[in-house]
């Protein structure tokens, strides 16, 4: 009986060891993985759905270049197409193909960054998801529409107006800002850890 008990105890220790090894390795647990999936899939699905739906509504409701006031002249819907990048950036005749290729490359870079981001860094995961969702929305337009990306959100006062944009552009902008914040926070944490390590090191 003693040997059996001893064997059972050692077997239990062996079964528990992988869990302990996983925890000590810093790999994400189930909670982190679930949060990562939510922060990845939900923004992408919601933003893509809104972007595609609003662009379809604009194309079916308004004439090209038609302006429709929403909040007076400050905010209006102005249906237009853009072969270039976000907020009306255009480099000429081949803008559509150029920015399509550039967007695909950017998605690849985001994929690499996403793989290297720990699940515990939820701000960066969300930021990458937002930028990716916006990029995918505009890529879809560039592929299916010879005229380029559909833009319709028009803000300004009188002749001083912001470049016309869409929901995908907004997602890219918000995601890029959050991404910069996440890098800044990471740098601050590293500086604090380095300072703490320097203080703890005996002279």
- For residue 48, what are the contacts with CB-CB under 8 A and spacing of at least 6? 133, 136, 137, 140
Q: Which pLDDT tens digit goes with each residue over 85-105?
A: 655 566 666 677 888 898 999
For the stretch 16-47, pLDDT in tens is 444 444 333 444 556 688 889 999 999 999 99
Catalytic: 141? no
List 51, 141, 151, 154, catalytic entry: 151
Q: 169 an active-site residue?
A: yes
pLDDT band at 83; cut points 50, 70, 90: confident
Q: What is the pLDDT of residues 115-141, one digit of tens each?
A: 999 999 999 999 999 999 999 999 999
pLDDT at 60 over 80: yes
- The Cα 109–Cα 39 span in angstroms is 18
Q: 3 lies in a domain?
A: no
Contact 165, 151 (CB under 8 A): yes
**Of 51, 141, 154, 169, which one is the catalytic site residue?**
169
Residue 187: pLDDT over 80: yes
Q: What does the pLDDT read at residue 75?
A: 98
Would you say residue 115 lies in a domain? Answer: yes
- Please count the structural domains in the chain: 1
CB 149 within 8 A of CB 97: no
User: Is 98 within a domain?
Assistant: yes
Name the region of 137 (left: φ>0; alpha: ψ -120 to 50; beta: rest): alpha
Does residue 125 fall inside a structural domain? yes
Alpha helices by DSSP H, 26-146:
30-61, 95-115, 122-144
- Name the residue range of residue 114's domain: 31-200
Residue 12 has pLDDT above 80, yes or no: no
Comparing C-alpha atoms, which of 192, 56, 40 is closest to residue 114? 40
């Amino acid at each position: 009986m003693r040997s059996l008990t001893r064997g059972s105890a050692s077997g239990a220790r062996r079964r528990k060891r992988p869990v302990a090894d996983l925890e000590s390795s810093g790999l994400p647990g189930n909670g982190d993985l679930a949060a990562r999936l939510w922060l990845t899939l939900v923004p992408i699905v919601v933003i893509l759905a809104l972007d595609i739906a609003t662009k379809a509504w604009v194309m079916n409701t308004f004439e090209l270049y038609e302006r429709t006031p929403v909040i007076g002249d400050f905010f209006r819907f102005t249906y237009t197409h853009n072969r270039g990048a976000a907020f009306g950036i255009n480099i000429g005749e081949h803008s559509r193909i150029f920015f399509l290729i550039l967007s695909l490359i950017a998605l690849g870079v985001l994929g690499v960054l996403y793989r290297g981001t720990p699940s515990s860094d939820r701000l960066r995961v969300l930021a990458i998801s937002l930028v990716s969702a916006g990029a995918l929305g505009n890529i879809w337009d560039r592929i299916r529409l010879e005229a380029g990306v559909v833009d319709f959100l028009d803000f300004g006062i009188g002749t001083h107006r912001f470049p016309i944009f869409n929901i995908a552009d907004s997602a890219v902008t918000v995601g890029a800002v959050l991404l910069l914040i996440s890098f800044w926070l990471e740098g601050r944490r590293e500086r604090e850890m380095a300072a703490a390590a320097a203080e703890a090191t005996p002279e």
